[in-house]
């Protein structure tokens, strides 16, 4: 049993769980799936849903569970008896895991950008321009971006957002869809690193013609419901890459089934590894099934804050999988300006953007082919240990050649 489930049952008498449905069950209608699994969940007046609704004065029912059809996943509340019946369900239930509250990976540094700064140095470092010159700018590729939101009025982003959604404190999608807005600064920065357009001579985006399906899912409230809602929504938009700079400190297996689901839908999960220094890392970036990203600086040296860890497993034992530009990264700031941020959150969108370039070059590629091409392009610098940088620094030109 998941440690999260055990702890919650001991502490509260009930627990929140993520249920991955059997693949054949996902082919059934939403109404029949809901009817089939509803009996396994319980409503509690002391649950997070009930507490949030009361504290925020939200007039809403207290649902025992929510169903996410594009993922084939349910999120709900159980007690010991209903958990046993859920696990015994051979018709609908594939796996049951906990639902720990993930958090944003905050930048290690935020600073004002000098007015003379006109370029994200990561573009040159990854040799992205040569791929643009070959005709690949991410055009036609949808990238999922789950973060604090995004300022859709920013000159670098106003033509980059194909869809925007906001998931409220209970994880419900707000309708009608609001204007693209950032509840913080983090989301605008990461979004523009993926697909920011050149505006007033400032060049920041790795895939400047890719389109974003961006959602505000964090921070605060029922974060798991918000993130699952955002993932389900983004999958429904036809994304090829999912960029997330959020996670749990340490090893938590609970989101592993979701990462597997993304790959099964031919979506590349690109996740930040965390900013808590060596010997630590974050889930879901910890998983072998994710493409986890660490950070390096302008001197191609490992950023001291960038997480790294070795796991006791035969497949892909080291995280991160590779490193990308993540120190003093120039990108968009809500309100129309630009600023510098450092963190693995800044490195991650570089790789999401690179994947978009490659998918434009080979639209029918599988997620494994895109990932293998990126890995094949990597070189470990002499001044960077494998324990910290793993495969090392990718090269967009080599990745394109490896793919084609």
Residues taking part in catalysis: 147, 186, 345
CA–CA separation, 88 and 383 (whole Å) = 53
Here the tokens at position 341 are: 């941020």
- As a three-state string, the secondary structure of 261-295 is HHHHCCCEEEEECCCCCECECEECCCCCCCEEEEE
Q: Which helix (H) or strand (E) holds 78?
A: strand 73-78
Here the tokens at position 366 are: 């599988």
Do 320 and 91 meet the contact criterion of CB atoms below 8 Å apart? no
CA–CA separation, 119 and 16 (whole Å) = 45
Neighbours of 356 (CB within 10 A): 34
CA–CA separation, 64 and 43 (whole Å) = 5
Rounded to a whole number, what is the distance in angstroms from the first to the last CA of the chain? 44
Neighbours of 75 (CB within 10 A): 23
CA–CA separation, 198 and 123 (whole Å) = 12
């Amino acid at each position: 049993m998941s440690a999260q489930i055990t702890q919650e049952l001991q502490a509260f008498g009930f627990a929140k769980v993520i249920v991955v449905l059997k693949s054949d069950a996902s082919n059934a209608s939403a109404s029949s799936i809901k009817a089939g699994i509803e009996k396994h969940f319980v409503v509690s007046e002391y649950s997070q849903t009930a507490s949030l609704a009361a504290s925020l004065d939200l007039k809403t029912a207290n649902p025992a569970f929510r169903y996410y059809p594009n993922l084939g996943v349910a999120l709900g509340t159980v007690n010991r008896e209903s958990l046993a019946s859920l696990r015994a369900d051979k018709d609908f239930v594939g796996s049951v895991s906990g639902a720990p509250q993930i958090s944003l990976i905050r930048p290690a540094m935020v600073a004002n950008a000098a007015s003379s700064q006109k370029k994200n140095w990561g573009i040159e470092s990854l040799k992205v321009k040569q791929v643009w010159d070959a005709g690949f700018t991410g055009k036609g590729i949808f990238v999922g971006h789950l973060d604090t939101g995004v300022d859709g009025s920013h000159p670098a982003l106003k033509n980059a957002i194909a869809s925007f959604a906001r998931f409220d404190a209970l994880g419900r999608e707000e309708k009608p869809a609001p204007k693209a807005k950032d509840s913080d600064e983090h989301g605008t920065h990461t979004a523009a690193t993926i697909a920011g357009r050149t505006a007033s001579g400032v060049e920041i985006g790795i895939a400047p013609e890719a389109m974003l399906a961006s959602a505000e899912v964090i921070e605060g409230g029922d974060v798991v419901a918000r993130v699952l809602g955002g993932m389900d929504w983004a999958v429904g938009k036809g994304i090829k890459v999912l960029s997330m700079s959020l996670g749990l400190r340490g090893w938590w297996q609970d989101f592993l089934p979701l990462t597997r689901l993304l790959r099964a839908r031919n979506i590349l999960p690109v996740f930040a590894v965390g900013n808590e220094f060596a010997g630590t890392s974050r889930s879901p970036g910890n998983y072998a099934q994710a493409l986890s990203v660490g950070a390096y600086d302008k001197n191609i040296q490992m950023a001291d804050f960038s997480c790294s860890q070795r796991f006791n497993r035969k497949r892909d034992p080291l995280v991160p999988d590779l490193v990308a530009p993540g120190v003093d990264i120039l990108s968009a700031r809500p309100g129309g300006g630009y600023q510098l941020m450092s963190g693995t959150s800044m490195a991650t969108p570089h790789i999401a953007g690179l994947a978009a370039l490659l998918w434009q070059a080979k639209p029918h590629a599988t997620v494994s082919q895109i990932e293998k091409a990126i890995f094949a392009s990597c070189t470990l610098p002499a001044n960077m240990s494998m324990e910290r940088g793993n495969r090392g620094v990718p090269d967009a030109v080599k990745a394109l050649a490896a793919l084609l």
